[in-house]
């Protein structure tokens, strides 16, 4: 299909995703010079009488999220229409959805699980206090940013309490994440989101759904009639028993038996994770840094709280030393790499131990070998740095990271090459990469990570490696 060059006031930069109902674009707001994501739906579908109020659902998303302001919720800027298309302009978030992350790493480290759950529950606290229920919490609707932060998106079937909107049927949702009352068509409230959050908690801890079955009907039967096996009792896994009562309460069949609020769910998780510190020394440092509140429901950092987890490197490693490993691991693990590197660095005593620990997160043996080659093999950035300094990659004689100057000719060459691939948004990507880059080669690696398409990434790297004229 032919794509527009502009929607409303927004310039179209590239296609991010395409489906039967519409297209999601990366756009640029020239008025305030910022990137946006633009979700579209064809008006012909909005006007069709197919038994589903697509127009109401689409506008509902704009109205639902438009009243929310929270760092854990993808912001919506505008609802608009042109002759053929209705669109929503929203915050552009770099990262992958949690479904992609779990596809690569089915079981996440318990510290990461706690942190993701706390961020999700903070966002739900904000939404619920505003009278908005998401109704479709699942991994595909949660975005993990390149900083390892979790953001909630896709409020397309949200319910706005007391709103005079046409509401979709109570049974709309995703099988396996829907609460029993959704299946039964009974009255629903915010606690359906807490049930779905409980399913997600179980999924991240165990690598499997609590109600997995071969058909949607069988899934429904399990949700209505079966109690899932407690995570700590699943053979072959090592999950702390402190999570069992949290999961059981979140997945209670009767809404009144579940947590009364997202904040109560969050508090229980923080309490249990604190107990877990005393029984699992291996996780003590990770959990201790993650069970603290990241944000209050109003979006402000709590008094005395540390800066957000994942933003600072552990004390025995400086951030510049970890950056090459993070860049290499990102090729295989996506945005989760940042979190995994920092967690591994808390216990690794030397460079080799850290590299080995990180490689264990890559399930495919061939990919693991490629990862280790990137870290220390011939021609790798870490290997070259080690040979240049006569020691461990990324360290000088005093343990400080080795930095190579990035000249203005290199920067301009990179800007031109990236602009050919991304258009006007290139200068924003370049600015962000320059803030982290320690050498021209590292700058090239950071820029290449911005492209998901392998062919496009290879083309960019080839252009970047050519000598600037």
Name the pLDDT band for 40 (thresholds 50, 70, 90). Answer: confident
Query: For the purposes of burial, counting CB atoms within 10 Å of the CB of 196, is it exposed (0-12), middle (13-18) or buried (19 or more)?
Result: buried
Mean pLDDT of 204-210: 95
Mean of the per-residue pLDDT values for the chain?
75
pLDDT of 434 reads: 81
pLDDT of 405 reads: 63
282 in active site: no
pLDDT of 260 reads: 96
Kindly state the greatest CA–CA separation across the chain: 71
pLDDT of 233 reads: 95
Q: Tell me the sheet residues that pair with 11.
A: 6, 28
In a domain, 349, yes or no: yes
3-state secondary structure 89-120: EEECCCEEEHHHHHHHCCCCCHHHHHHHHHHH
pLDDT of 194 reads: 98
In a domain, 300, yes or no: no
pLDDT at 320 over 80: no
Same domain, 130 and 248: yes
Select from 57, 91, 125 the last residue of a domain: 91
In this predicted structure, which of 137-146, 152-161, 246-255, 335-344 has the lowest mean pLDDT?
Answer: 152-161
Same domain, 136 and 222: yes
In a domain, 442, yes or no: yes
pLDDT of 367 reads: 75
Name the pLDDT band for 316 (thresholds 50, 70, 90). Answer: low
Residue 176's alpha-carbon distances to 4, 166, 212, in angstroms, are: 37, 25, 7
Same domain, 131 and 212: yes
CATH number of the domain residue 79 falls in:
3.30.200.20
pLDDT at 292 over 60: no
Element (H, E) at 303: none
In a domain, 165, yes or no: yes
pLDDT at 3 over 50: yes
Residue 267's alpha-carbon distances to 78, 195, 246, 274, 355, in angstroms, are: 34, 16, 10, 11, 35
370-426 pLDDT, tens digit per residue, is 788 777 643 344 444 433 333 333 333 333 344 456 777 788 888 888 878 777 667
- DSSP codes, 41-67: EEHHHHHS-SSS-HHHHHHHHHHHHHT
Residue 144's alpha-carbon distances to 31, 70, 123, 321, 413, in angstroms, are: 28, 15, 14, 23, 30
pLDDT of 314 reads: 52
Evaluate whether 183 touches 171 at the Cβ level (below 8 Å). Answer: yes
> Higher-confidence residue: 167 or 445?
445
pLDDT at 293 over 50: no
Evaluate whether 76 touches 88 at the Cβ level (below 8 Å). Answer: yes
pLDDT of 397 reads: 33
235-267 pLDDT, tens digit per residue, is 999 898 999 999 999 999 999 999 999 999 999
In a domain, 399, yes or no: no
- 3 state DSSP class of 15: strand
348-372 pLDDT, tens digit per residue, is 767 777 887 788 777 667 777 778 8
Same domain, 170 and 278: yes
pLDDT at 72 over 80: yes
In a domain, 314, yes or no: no
Please tell me which residue in 29, 97, 122, 136 is annotated as part of the active site: 136
Same domain, 232 and 365: no
In a domain, 224, yes or no: yes
Same domain, 52 and 143: no
Same domain, 74 and 185: no
Residues 6+ apart with CB under 8 A from 435: none
Angle, CA 410 vertex, CA 406 and CA 411 arms, to 5° = 85
Contacts 24+ apart (CB under 8 A), 114-117: 114/269, 114/273, 114/287, 114/290, 114/291, 115/148, 115/150, 115/290, 115/294, 115/309, 115/310, 115/339, 116/142, 116/144, 116/150, 116/204, 117/197, 117/200, 117/201, 117/204, 117/266, 117/269
213-243 pLDDT, tens digit per residue, is 988 889 999 999 999 999 999 999 989 899 9
Per cent of the chain over pLDDT 90 is 28
Name the pLDDT band for 277 (thresholds 50, 70, 90). Answer: very low
Evaluate whether 152 touches 74 at the Cβ level (below 8 Å). Answer: yes
pLDDT of 336 reads: 66
When divided into structural domains, the chain yields a total of 4
CATH number of the domain residue 235 falls in:
1.10.510.10
Same domain, 268 and 121: yes
Element (H, E) at 190: none
Same domain, 82 and 104: no
Q: Which residue segment(s) compose the domain that 420 sits in?
A: 408-465
Same domain, 188 and 41: no
Select from 47, 75, 91 the last residue of a domain: 91
pLDDT of 436 reads: 76
Same domain, 284 and 366: no
Q: Residue 79 — φ and ψ, nearest 5°?
A: -110, 135
Same domain, 281 and 184: yes
> Higher-confidence residue: 64 or 205?
205
In a domain, 84, yes or no: yes
Any idea which residue has 């390892």 for tokens? 148
């Amino acid at each position: 299909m032919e794509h527009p060059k502009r929607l409303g006031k927004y310039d179209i930069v590239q296609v991010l995703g395409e489906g039967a109902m519409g297209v999601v674009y990366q756009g640029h707001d020239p008025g305030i010079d910022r990137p946006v994501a633009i979700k579209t739906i064809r008006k012909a579908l909005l006007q069709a009488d197919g038994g589903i109020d697509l127009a109401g659902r689409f506008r509902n998303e704009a109205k639902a999220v438009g009243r929310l302001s929270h760092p854990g919720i993808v912001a919506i800027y505008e609802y608009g229409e042109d002759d053929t298309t209705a669109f929503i302009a929203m915050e552009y978030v770099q990262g992958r959805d949690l479904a992609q992350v779990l596809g690569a790493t089915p079981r996440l480290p318990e510290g990461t699980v706690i942190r993701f759950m706390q961020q999700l529950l903070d966002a739900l606290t904000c939404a619920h206090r505003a009278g908005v229920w998401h109704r479709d919490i699942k991994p595909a609707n949660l975005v993990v940013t390149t900083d390892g932060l979790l953001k909630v998106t896709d409020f397309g079937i949200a319910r706005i309490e007391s709103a005079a909107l046409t509401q979709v049927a109570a049974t709309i949702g995703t099988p396996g994440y829907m609460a029993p009352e959704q299946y039964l068509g009974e009255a629903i409230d915010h606690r359906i989101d807490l049930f779905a959050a409980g399913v997600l908690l179980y999924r991240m801890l165990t690598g499997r759904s609590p109600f997995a079955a071969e058909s949607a009907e069988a899934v429904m039967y399990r949700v209505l009639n079966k109690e899932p096996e407690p995570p700590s009792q699943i053979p072959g896994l090592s999950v702390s028993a402190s999570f069992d009562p949290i999961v059981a309460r979140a997945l209670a069949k009767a809404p009144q038996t579940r947590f009364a609020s997202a904040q109560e769910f969050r508090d229980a998780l923080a309490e249990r994770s604190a107990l877990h510190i005393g029984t699992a020394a291996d996780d003590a440092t990770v959990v201790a840094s993650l069970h603290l509140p990241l944000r209050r429901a109003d979006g402000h950092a709590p008094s005395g709280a540390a800066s957000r987890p994942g933003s600072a490197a552990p004390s025995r490693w400086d951030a510049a030393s970890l950056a090459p490993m993070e860049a290499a691991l990102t090729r295989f693990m996506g945005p989760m790499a940042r979190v995994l590197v920092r967690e591994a660095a808390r216990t690794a005593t030397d460079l080799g131990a850290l590299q080995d620990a990180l490689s264990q997160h890559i399930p495919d043996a061939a990919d693991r070998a490629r990862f280790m080659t990137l870290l220390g093999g011939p021609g790798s950035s870490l290997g070259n740095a080690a040979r240049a300094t006569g020691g461990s990659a990324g360290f000088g004689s005093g343990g400080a990271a080795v930095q190579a100057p990035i000249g203005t000719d290199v920067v301009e060459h990179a800007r031109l090459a990236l602009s050919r691939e991304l258009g006007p948004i290139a200068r924003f990507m370049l600015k962000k990469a320059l803030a982290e880059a320690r050498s021209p080669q590292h700058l090239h690696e950071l820029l290449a990570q911005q492209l998901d398409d392998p062919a496009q990434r290879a083309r960019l790297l080839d252009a970047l490696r050519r000598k600037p004229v």
